[in-house]
């Protein structure tokens, strides 16, 4: 039991202690992280328009990054969570991955989120 708790804390420690000040709500920098661990961040996507917005699909820049959205239909000023997971196995040094949220908003059809990390051994 003690070993399980220790391992769980060891895995969660880098994520909780390395949060850094972020430049904007579309970019998240994990900072220096031990390579090989899975990283997760949740972005908030808000429909800033006066019309309902549909999320048509989500793409990522790499198979190592997956994303899912909580709600695909947003009323004006309504928000949803966009969860992003990055598997850092096989990567080292500075890494940047992208998440593309395709919407039916003609003024802003693709919303891009960015995750960054500096992976160390």
Domain boundaries, the chain: 2-120
How far are the Cα atoms of 4, 50, 53 from residue 76, in angstroms, in the given order? 45, 5, 7
Residue 25's Cβ-side half-sphere holds a number of Cα atoms within 13 Å equal to: 8
H-only helix segments in 18-119: none
Q: Give the global pTM.
A: 0.78
Q: Does domain 2-120 have CATH number 2.60.40.10?
A: yes
Residue 20 scores a pLDDT above 70:
no
Residue 56 scores a pLDDT above 80:
yes
What pLDDT was estimated at residue 24? 79
One DSSP character per residue, 45-70 reads EE--SSS-EEEEEEEESSTTEEEEES
What pLDDT was estimated at residue 22? 52
What pLDDT was estimated at residue 90? 93
Structure tokens at 86: 């990055």
* Parallel, antiparallel or unpaired: strands 27-34 and 110-120: parallel
What pLDDT was estimated at residue 95? 97
């Amino acid at each position: 039991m003690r070993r399980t708790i220790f391992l769980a804390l060891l895995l969660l420690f880098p994520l909780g202690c390395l949060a850094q000040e972020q430049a904007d709500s579309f970019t998240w920098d994990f900072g220096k992280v031990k390579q090989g661990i899975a990283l997760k961040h949740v972005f908030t996507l808000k429909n800033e328009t006066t019309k309902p917005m549909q999320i048509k699909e989500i793409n990522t820049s790499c198979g190592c990054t997956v994303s899912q959205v909580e709600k695909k239909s947003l009323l004006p000023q309504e928000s949803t969570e966009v969860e992003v997971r990055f598997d850092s196995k096989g990567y080292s040094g500075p890494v940047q991955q992208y998440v593309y949220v395709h919407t039916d908003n003609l003024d802003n059809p693709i919303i891009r989120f960015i995750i960054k990390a500096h992976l160390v051994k």
